[in-house]
Structure 1
Amino acid sequence: MPVHSSALSRELPVGVVGAGTMGAGIAQVAAMAGHSVRLVDAREGAAESAVQGLRQRLARMAERGRLAPEEAAAIGARLIPAGGLAELAGCGLVIEAIVEDMKVKRELFGELETILAADAILATNTSSLSITAMAAHLERPGRLVGMHFFNPAPLMALVEVVSGLATDPTVAGTVFETARLWGKAPVHAANTPGFIVNRVARPFYGEAFRLLAEQAGLPATIDALMRESGGFRMGPFELTDLIGQDVNAAVSRSVFEAYDYDPRYRPSLFQRELVDAGRLGRKSGRGIYDHAEGATKPEPATAAAGPKPQRIVAEGLRGPAEALLDLATAAGIEVERREQGPGLIRLDGIVLALTDGETADEHTARTGEPVLLFDLALDYGAATRIGLAAPLRASDAQRAAAAGFFQALGKSVSFVGDLPGMVVMRTVAMLANEAAEAVHTGVADAQGVDTAMRKGVNYPAGPLAWAERMGTRRIVETIDHMARAYGEDRYRCSLGLRRLLWQTPHSGR
């Protein structure tokens, strides 16, 4: 792993190659941290235009009271448009943010080697290309490191510091400490496809498209459950429409191919259909949703009001769902708690259980009584919507009774198809599985993975911390049950996740 190093001195200038949105954002971050920044772009006038735009942005920040006027002026003065690469001589660090093309980046770094001092650091903002391959043709490959910012760079906290096979640990350490000094949350990552975020996040999109293909529910319902129950800022379909279906699909395809077509990363055929149809999301006016002016956003499917139960019996209910009992008491429902039992709630002739990857039909067939499943929530107290799955033969009255219980607690209810893992549980389990695999294979440590997912894509909790909080055993059981139901290697449980379970054998359900 990279060793501890000191940050780059503020006395040393920083060079940024590429004056597009990302390059300009990186330049702003470095200048605000106190460095003189030289911004260069191959397009005539692009660097000058970017610097002018940044100075205007700084002035607006001063007008809004976010910066003192003199501070904004000083930062702006540190931003210098450069006429060419030769003007980067003397920089202690040069970060490229140009086109994602290996040949072009290699040529750039080869030229920079002839310009910069021997101890200057070369950094690439690539989100997907191999640092090892990029450095292979350099005379000093040890000084090239990944410094992957997230867009918009001034606002997003995460920086992935990626070490290739030849990267000098001291160089990676210096970049890590520099990013920290710049006010970022850096994490070390090994040079693997997708690094941390673009790899670990694949199930967030992949499972949503899989659920859609299996008719679990409409996109608006799945999105609402992920937001209102899972605590994510955006649902997967909203987010892919924002990112661009073509961009998201390209990243999924890239990771799939880079991992030799591992089924865990298999892209969605339906997403490919969207791209082929030109339905790219917000930028094209239509994707999963219609983004045309005046278009009405579809509402999630919401169950009609059901009867409030007078009394419930909880048998062995522990873990995150136990919070439902306090909510029920507060709602005026009589609650009988029994310490022993399989972890369920009995009411009005039905059984409610937190999904564990088996379907409601499986639970019902095994127990001989109607079992309706409810989905995972980040926080059952704060959740405003709960997903329910009913067995095929559930009556309307049984479905209404299940809905009525959660509605009495102040929740909206959405019924989804009776599929393994439901919506939130399925997604969180697969995110935790991928996170554990990343740790197991040395991509990053557990803290780095969780930090990356919270800071890079704004997850409400790190996948590994979330799994520990809800009980690693239930996560493992959920994945194992999905693997059995589907018979696909896509749902194989990571040895890293099983090891977490073995280390805490009594982790709750």
Structure 2
Amino acid sequence: MTSRNFSIETIGIVGTGAMGRGIAQIAALAGLTVRLYDTNPAAIGAARDYLAETFAKLTAKGKLDQARSRAALANVSGAQVVGDLADCDLVVEAIVEKLDVKQALFRELETVVSGRCVLASNTSSLSITAIAAGCTNPSRVAGYHFFNPVPLMKVVEVIDGLRSDPAVGDALMELARRMGHTPVRAKDMPGFIVNHAGRGMNTEGLRVAGEGVASFADIDRIMREQAGFRLGPFELLDLTALDVSHPVMESIYHQFYEEPRFTPSPITGTRLAGGLIGRKTGEGFYRYEDGKQQVPAEAPAPTELPHSVWVSKRYPEAHQAVVQLIAKAGVKLDEGATPAADSLIVVTPFGHDATTAAVDEALDATRVVAIDALFPLAAAQRRTLMTTPATSRTARETAHALFAADGVPVTVIRDSTGFVAQRVVATIVNIGCDIAQKQIATPDDIDLAVTLGLGYPRGPLALGDALGSKTILTILRNIFSVLGDPRYRPSPWLARRAQLGLSLTQRDAADTQTETQQ
């Protein structure tokens, strides 16, 4: 199985649900011969009818010419029994996520297909090595993880099991490109790349909500409008649905032997049990009427500005950014070494909560309000403030008025290590770094998989570089110093590169030099 110089021309697809149909669609359009098999014979006909309808719609919209549409549909036929897949060069299974069922299918396929046929699993959460363990020849087995909807999600993870022939993965990479998708290569580890990296947004968003820091809607607003993500964690969970995402969170947590970074939240378990699954059932973290998300309106910003404002100089760049906003609002800046008795006190912590920032500088906590300065404040689409448990209503409302004076919306949250955006983004970057540290995938493939598979504005490593790896390291260390929770321990990949001033996307120099010499 170490020499595989052949092209894949005939592909069998077992399972004709959404994933199987999507894979069939892109394969047929790429000119491959497609055999569809399902244990329910009626499902095969339904899948072919779906493809016919899809191709007709694409043709009507001018996205597919008539000749190619007819040719693609002609490429697809049904397999009445597993034996009808005998001439396939590749068989992809897209069936139920149960290990014993997948193993049984692959054992059956081995008795039917030729010795040169590749067997691939579209599993999103099961070990490729474990699936292959039931096979006589595990070297022909690899992972081929597409994302739903397959035709629109242009990335596919190619996963090498412990016994997979590297040439099998090479052939799947080439086939993905032929089908118009971007392949990324990963080792067989829980969650592969995308579901592994995606733990940062969801689990940390849930942790913030679980601490009572902010509402679901406010956390989503912050992650969209301040941090620049397309969706916040709760919008994303509603889209994927808790009956899918909660079991994945539990599975990855247990597969990593209760790694604290991936700890699930009882919030999703409770809501799943209560049937608040998400968009598809009309109610999740939001309600949906006629498919439209119902979002609670924000209260208008207060208008009474503070008399004067004193700003901490602990972080000079953040201090200067806040001072510029104060000047823009026409409010007096208190430039004393310590705050005057009537001044609003503004701190700009990175990773610490407002309480710790106030105590560290011996400030009057009743007048302290913190502002998140991780993202540029002047060009912000949203700003986030947080208060200590002792902050007065007057301090909170005048700070809100001050930082909303230029029309930028402001969210005020309860005290939190790392605000919302800092801790979620730092967690995303840190998990991405750990994927690189464990050599599950290359830095380039990690960022590529996340941007294409999750729709993030940048991959986790590029995001860390853009915000400053030293800043991300500071945030994580400060959160850890307050909470003592090992979920916030920095990855060695992050810590070493931050200290050396290297890009998070940079592999070890010796490894790069060795590859160049080869």
- TM-score of the two chains, using structure 1 as the length reference: 0.88
Instruction: Report the Cα offset of residue 280 of structure 1.
Output: 1.6
* Cα pair 2:301 2:401 within 8 Å, conserved: no
Matched, 1:384 2:381: yes
**Amino acid of the structure 2 residue aligned with 1:422:** F
Matched, 1:478 2:496: no
* Cα pair 1:222 1:423 within 8 Å, conserved: yes
Instruction: Report the Cα offset of residue 104 of structure 1.
Output: 1.3
1:104 to 101, 104, 110: 101
What is the alpha-carbon distance in structure 2 between the residues aligned to residue 295 and residue 456 of structure 1? 23
* SS of equivalent to 1:99: coil
What is the alpha-carbon distance in structure 2 between the residues aligned to residue 73 and residue 307 of structure 1? 68
Matched, 1:199 2:193: no
Instruction: Report the Cα offset of residue 54 of structure 1.
Output: 0.8
* Cα pair 2:311 2:322 within 8 Å, conserved: no
* Cα pair 1:280 1:286 within 8 Å, conserved: yes
The correspondence of residues 260-279 of structure 1 with structure 2, limited to 5 A, is 260-279=257-276
Counterpart position of 1:149: 146
* SS of equivalent to 1:283: helix
Counterpart position of 1:426: 423
2:112 to 108, 111, 115: 115
* Cα pair 2:307 2:332 within 8 Å, conserved: no
Moved more, 182-191 or 293-302: 293-302
Instruction: Report the Cα offset of residue 371 of structure 1.
Output: 5.0
Counterpart position of 2:64: 67
* Cα pair 1:356 1:421 within 8 Å, conserved: yes
Moved more, 405-414 or 316-325: 316-325
Counterpart position of 1:299: 297
* Cα pair 2:443 2:461 within 8 Å, conserved: yes
| Cα-to-partner distance string for 1:390-439 (whole Å, 9 max, x where unaligned) | 23444445434433443244410010111101111110101111111111
* Cα pair 2:473 2:490 within 8 Å, conserved: yes
Matched, 1:359 2:353: yes
Residues 389, 35 of structure 1: CA spacing in aligned structure 2 closer, same or farther, 3 A cutoff? same
| Cα-to-partner distance string for 1:61-110 (whole Å, 9 max, x where unaligned) | 11111112222222222122222222222222111101111111112111
Residues 45, 356 of structure 1: CA spacing in aligned structure 2 closer, same or farther, 3 A cutoff? same
Counterpart position of 1:341: none
Residues 405, 113 of structure 1: CA spacing in aligned structure 2 closer, same or farther, 3 A cutoff? same
Matched, 1:403 2:400: yes
Residues 117, 421 of structure 1: CA spacing in aligned structure 2 closer, same or farther, 3 A cutoff? same
* Cα pair 2:311 2:323 within 8 Å, conserved: no
Instruction: Report the Cα offset of residue 185 of structure 1.
Output: 1.9
Counterpart position of 2:280: 283
Residues 23, 396 of structure 1: CA spacing in aligned structure 2 closer, same or farther, 3 A cutoff? same
* Count of residue correspondences: 494
* Cα pair 2:325 2:403 within 8 Å, conserved: no
The correspondence of residues 61-100 of structure 1 with structure 2, limited to 5 A, is 61-100=58-97
Counterpart position of 2:514: none
| Cα-to-partner distance string for 1:126-175 (whole Å, 9 max, x where unaligned) | 00111111112322211111000000000001211111100111111111
* SS of equivalent to 2:22: helix
| Cα-to-partner distance string for 1:185-243 (whole Å, 9 max, x where unaligned) | 21111111111111221121111221112111111111111111122222111221222
* Cα pair 1:303 1:414 within 8 Å, conserved: no
What is the alpha-carbon distance in structure 1 between the residues aligned to residue 415 and residue 355 of structure 2? 8
Instruction: Report the Cα offset of residue 308 of structure 1.
Output: 9.4
* SS of equivalent to 2:288: coil
Moved more, 408-417 or 55-64: 408-417
Matched, 1:39 2:33: no
2:495 to 493, 498, 501: 498
Residues 289, 52 of structure 1: CA spacing in aligned structure 2 closer, same or farther, 3 A cutoff? same
* Cα pair 2:309 2:346 within 8 Å, conserved: no
Instruction: Report the Cα offset of residue 455 of structure 1.
Output: 0.7
Instruction: Report the Cα offset of residue 483 of structure 1.
Output: 1.3
Residues 175, 17 of structure 1: CA spacing in aligned structure 2 closer, same or farther, 3 A cutoff? same
Instruction: Report the Cα offset of residue 32 of structure 1.
Output: 1.5
What is the alpha-carbon distance in structure 1 between the residues aligned to residue 483 and residue 81 of structure 2? 56
Counterpart position of 1:342: none
**Amino acid of the structure 1 residue aligned with 2:189:** T
* Cα pair 2:13 2:24 within 8 Å, conserved: yes
The correspondence of residues 190-269 of structure 1 with structure 2, limited to 5 A, is 190-269=187-266
Percent identical residues: 35
Counterpart position of 2:435: 438
Counterpart position of 1:183: 180
Matched, 1:53 2:50: yes
Residues 19, 316 of structure 1: CA spacing in aligned structure 2 closer, same or farther, 3 A cutoff? same
**Amino acid of the structure 2 residue aligned with 1:490:** R
Moved more, 54-63 or 372-381: 372-381
Moved more, 60-69 or 122-131: 60-69
User: CA RMSD, aligned part only?
Assistant: 3.2
What is the alpha-carbon distance in structure 2 between the residues aligned to residue 140 and residue 305 of structure 1? 72
* SS of equivalent to 1:291: strand
* SS of equivalent to 2:404: helix
